[in-house]
Amino acid sequence: MAQVQVQPRIRTNNKIRLSSGDRVFHFFNDAYLLLALLIVLYPIIYIVSSSFSSPQAVATGRVVLFPVDFSLRGYEAVFKHEGIVLGYTNTIFYTVVGTFVNVTMTVLAAYPLSRRRMPGKQIIMFLFTFTMIFSGGLIPTYILISRLKLINTRWVMIIPNAIGVFNMIICRTFFQTNIPEELVEAAQIDGCDHIRFMFEMVLPLSKPILAVIALYYSVGHWNAYFDAFIYLSNEKLFPLQIILREILVLNQIEQATIMDPQIMQARQGMSDLLKYSLIVVSSAPFMFIYPFVSKHFVKGALTGAIKG
Partner 1 sequence: MAVQNEVTLYKKRSIWSRYKRDVLMNYQLYIIILLPLIWLFIFRYIPMYGVQIAFKNFQASKGILGSEWVGLYQFKKFFNNYMFEKIITNTITLSLYQMIAGFPFPIILALALNNTLYPRFKKTVQMVTYMPHFISTVVMVGIILQLVHPRIGLINNAIKALGGTPIDFMAKAKYFPSIYVWSGVWQSTGWGTIIYLAALAGIDPELHEAAVIDGASRLQRVKYVDLPGILPTIVIILILNAGNIMNVGFEKAFLLQNNLNLDTSEIIATYTYKMGLASAASDFSYASAIGFFNSVVNMILILIVNYIAKKLGEISLW
The footprint of partner 1 on residues 119-138 (CB under 8 A) is 119, 124, 127-128, 131, 133-138
> Contact, 279 vs 195, CB < 8 A?
no
CB contact at 8 A, 245 and 233: no
Which of 117, 236, 255, 261 binds partner 1 (CB under 8 A)? It is 117
Which range binds partner 1 by CB under 8 A, 52-60, 75-83, 169-177, 204-212?
52-60
Collapse the DSSP code of 68 into the 3-class scheme (helix H, G, I; strand E, B; otherwise coil) and give the result.
coil
CB-based burial label for 27 (10 Å; 0-12, 13-18, 19+): exposed
Among 283, 275, 254, 243, smallest CA distance to 55 is for 275
**Shortest Å distance, C-beta 256 to partner 1:** 21
Rg (CA), the chain: 25
Is 176 a binding residue for partner 1 by CB under 8 A? The answer is no
Q: List the one residue from 12, 233, 252, 265 that touches partner 1 (CB under 8 A).
A: 12
Cβ 111 to partner 1 shortest distance, Å: 6
Q: Considering the rule CB under 8 A, would residue 93 count as an interface residue with partner 1?
A: no
End-to-end CA, the chain = 25
How many whole angstroms separate alpha carbon 245 and alpha carbon 296?
A: 30
- State in angstroms the smallest separation of the CB of 204 from partner 1: 17
Among 109, 169, 237, 253, binds partner 1 (CB under 8 A): 109
Q: What is the closest distance, in whole angstroms, from the C-beta atom of residue 291 to partner 1 in the complex?
A: 6
Separation of alpha carbons 142 and 135, rounded Å: 12
The one among 249, 255, 256, 262 contacting partner 1 by CB under 8 A: 249
Count other C-beta atoms under 10 Å from residue 227's C-beta: 17
**Within positions 202 to 221, which residues make up the interface with partner 1, using CB under 8 A?**
219
* Residue 29 beta carbon to partner 1: minimum distance, rounded to whole angstroms: 5
Tell me how far, at minimum, the Cβ of 267 lies from partner 1, in Å: 13
Q: Which of 100, 248, 267, 296 binds partner 1 (CB under 8 A)?
A: 248
Applying CB under 8 A, among 209, 272, 274, 277 the residue interacting with partner 1 is 272
Least Å distance, CB 80 to partner 1, is: 19
Report whether 178 contacts 206 (CB < 8 A): yes
- In the complex, least distance from residue 226 CB atom to partner 1, rounded to whole angstroms: 6
Interface with partner 1 includes 9 (CB under 8 A)?
A: yes
Residue nearer to partner 1 on the CB measure, 36 or 186: 36
- Name which of residues 179 to 198 contact partner 1 (CB under 8 A): 188, 193-195, 198
In 3-state terms the chain splits into helix, strand, coil percentages (rounded to 5) of 75, 0, 25
Out of 102, 241, 257, 277, name the contact with partner 1 by CB under 8 A.
241
Helix 165-178 to helix 82-114 angle, to the nearest 10 degrees? 40
59 is a site residue for partner 1 (CB under 8 A): yes
Nearer to partner 1, 111 or 217 (CB): 111
43-81 as b/e: b if 16+ CB within 10 A: eeeebbbbbbbbbbbbbeeebeeebbeebebbbebbeeb
CA distances to 37, 50, 58, 258 from 264, in Å:
38, 19, 15, 6
State yes or no: residue 261 binds partner 1 (CB under 8 A). Answer: no
